Amino acid sequence: MSASRGGEMGERAGAEWVAHLTELRRRLIYVAAWFVASLCLGLYVSPRVLGYVKGHVGSVEVDWSVFSLTDGLVVYMKCALLVGVVLTLPMLLYHLWAFSRPGMTESEAKGTLLYVPASFALFVTGVGFGYAVAIPMMIRFMMKLNQSIGATEVYGIHHYVSFLVSFLLPMGIAFEMPLAMLFLTRLGLLTPDKLKSARKYSYVGLAILGSLISPPDFASHLSVTIPLIALFEISAFIAVRYYRRRSSLIPLGQV
C-alpha cells in the first residue's frame, strides 16, 4: 500500500515538474518573440536614435568619423540590440513574476507586481540622468583636456557610442538601488541596524564607483557621486519605513 502511494506521489511530483517546465518554456517563447519584435523595431529606429544622440548630448556638438568599413554597421546593430533589450526588460520581468505567482500569497503577488514597472522606470531614469547631466559634463571636460594638449579632435563613431553605453548602462543599474534594498528588506536580510552600520562603508563604495565611471575632474566626480549617495539615502529611508511598518503589523509572538 505504501509502495503504491509512494509511486503515485512520485508520478504526481513528476507531472508537476513537467508542468512547470512547460510553463517556463511557454513564457520564454513569449519573451523571445517580444525580443525579436523589439529588435525589428530597433533596426527601424536606430538611424533616428543615433541621429538624436549625435545632436542632443547637452550643448555638446561632436562630429563622428568612421575608421573602418564595418564601424557604421557595428554601431547600427548595437543600437538596435540595445533598443530591443530595453523594450524587452519589462516583459521579461513580468513573466518572471507570473511564473513565480503560484507560490505567492495574494498580498505578496500584488506587492511584487509593482516591482515590474518600478524597475523599468528606475532604469530609464538612471539612463536619462546620465545622458542629460553627467555625460555632457564628462565630454566637455575631455574636450578641454584634448584641446589643452593641442590634440586634433576626431571621434570614431564606434568608440564614442561604446563609451556612452559603457557609462549609461551602469547608471541605469545603479538607479535600481531602491528596489534592491526594499527587496532585501522584504526578505529580512536588511534591517535598520545593518543599514546604519553599513552607511559609512556605502559612502566610500559609492564614491569609488563615482570616480571609476566619471572623469578625474572634481565637478564631474561630484555630479555622479552626489546623486548616488542621495539615491542610497532615499533607498535607506524607504527600506526603514517598510521594515518598521511591517514590524508593527506582525504580532509580537510571530516576530
Looking only at Cα atoms, what is the longest distance across the chain?
90
Burial class of residue 143, CB neighbours in 10 A (0-12, 13-18, 19+): middle
Residue from 92, 97, 88, 102 nearest 183 by CA: 97
Is there a contact between 225 and 211 (Cβ–Cβ < 8 Å)?
Answer: yes
Tell me what pLDDT residue 219 has.
Answer: 67
Would you state the pLDDT for residue 118?
87
**What one-letter code names the amino acid at 91?**
M
> Tens digit of pLDDT per residue, the chain (255 long)?
455 555 565 566 666 677 778 888 898 999 999 999 999 999 999 999 988 888 776 556 677 888 888 888 989 998 999 899 889 989 988 888 888 787 777 777 777 788 888 888 988 998 888 888 888 877 887 888 888 888 877 888 888 888 888 888 888 888 888 888 887 887 777 888 888 888 888 888 888 877 777 666 666 677 778 888 888 888 888 888 888 887 776 554 444
One-letter amino acid at 165 equals V
Supply the pLDDT for residue 252. 44
- Counted residue by residue, the chain has a size of 255
Q: pTM for the full model? A: 0.76
pLDDT at 46: 92
